[in-house]
Structure 1
Amino acid sequence: MIELKSPQEIECMHVTGRFVADVLTQLGDLAEVGVNLLDLEHHARSLIKARGAESCYWDYAPSFGNGPFRNVLCLSVNDAVLHGLPHDYVLRDGDVVSIDMAVGIDGWVADSARTVIVGAAAADDLQLVEATEVALEAAIEAARPGNHLGDVSAAIGEVAGRYGYPVNLEFGGHGIGRTMHESPHVSNNGRRGRGMKLLPGLTIAIEPWFAKTTDEITFDEDGWTIRSADGSRTAHSEHTVAITDGDPLVLTRRA
């Protein structure tokens, strides 16, 4: 079932979104050579606790995964792209790190991700991150009343094609609001003019992610961490977006 949110409810989600944006800004600044992934995790935990927010990841137990997720961040490094478990790993020069976070405040959820490059960045890594960011902005631009969900998905796939990256369709974006995962599913590729018609009040998390040279994935033994099947590097960008009567409203926009 898809629930359309009122302007007042969207503003409540925006409160959560601004908090998520602030935390991701801090974490991106902290992700430097020599920093342990667990330092990022514990910093986020302290900020969430101080705000009185609730992590959507803690105790999350979908059909995949090895038991409940017991962290507040997904931290995915290099060829890992989604659901990376924070662990004892010290960041190195040139590492590509996806930082993904979803929390609820007063019953309303926001979800966002960014990819940062630690230290000196290789040109092809910069291009990969750029592609996810360009795809995200193109998809946001398509998230307008009267358009279709396929327009949002097609915008992502078209950017991937221009950059020469394949697209995996197993994991993508999703509806969001009172919980982290609501209907509809938001594919990272599609056909324009297809799918449900976008209406004001729909809130979705749009999250393009690409690997350099494959659309196939593997899972680590932990059951959570998703990697490119060929070991090529990956990147992931995500925002929570509300469809309004006018321009799309990005609820997790970083300053």
Structure 2
Amino acid sequence: MPDTMIAVIGGSGLYDIDGLEGAKWQEVASPFGTPSDAILTGTLEGVKMAFLPRHGRGHVHTPSSVPYRANIDALKRLGATDVISVSACGSFREQMAPGDFVLVDQFIDRTVARENSFFGPGCVAHVSVAHPTCPRLGAACRTAARAAGITMHDGGTYLAMEGPQFSTLAESRIYREHWGADVIGMTNMPEARLAREAELCYASVAMVTDYDSWHPQHGEVDVAEIIRTLMGNADKGRDMVRRLPALLGAARMPCPHGCDRALNNAILTDPSVRDPDLVERLAAVAGRVL
């Protein structure tokens, strides 16, 4: 097994992590395009770490323009084994208040304008995303957050919308009252799907900034208020991340939930007719089975 490399994909408000030994920004080329930014690498308590700002430093990418495939492919090429998504979200639940964190374990995907698979004509694959996050990695995030004094809600369904606009009141009510969503954001899909195709353990930590537009006492989303909450959440997120190496350790064991073997029996295209160009592009993501 490879050594553990914890990769953090930071969302709005989280553009770096501090305390890394030997920290440096690395440009990583991907056949799926240019990643959102260079990737910050180093070690923390003897564990390899990588950090990628999802929107780029300075926040240059919209949720729809984030190069999700390039980001996941680049992290895989660097040797990432565990990917932790940290992102801002709105809440559909009174008890999931601004400033709280939610450990997401399910998704409803409402995105429509994004490439959502590494595979395609010439190399067809189907992976299961029935349980799209890794319980082992999620447990580490939960322990780290609570040790940092963060209110972490254990489990939640994240509705991924296309954006960049926020929800209408009617949409917010439907997602909350009829679809059973707990939080709403714009970036965890297709990221979670792609991480599964790349055989990476994936955990999603959603940082609540607002109540979307459903809450009668809070009204529509206020961007200024979101930014104020984001700044406090970003500090909490860094504190959580700093505690992860001690929990996960440098020695990597096979994932007990099979995330690192997600492509077993998933590729359906006969080797004799696979597209050689696509197979070459898939070298990092699916090289283990190709």
Which is greater in Rg?
2
TM-score by length of 1: 0.32
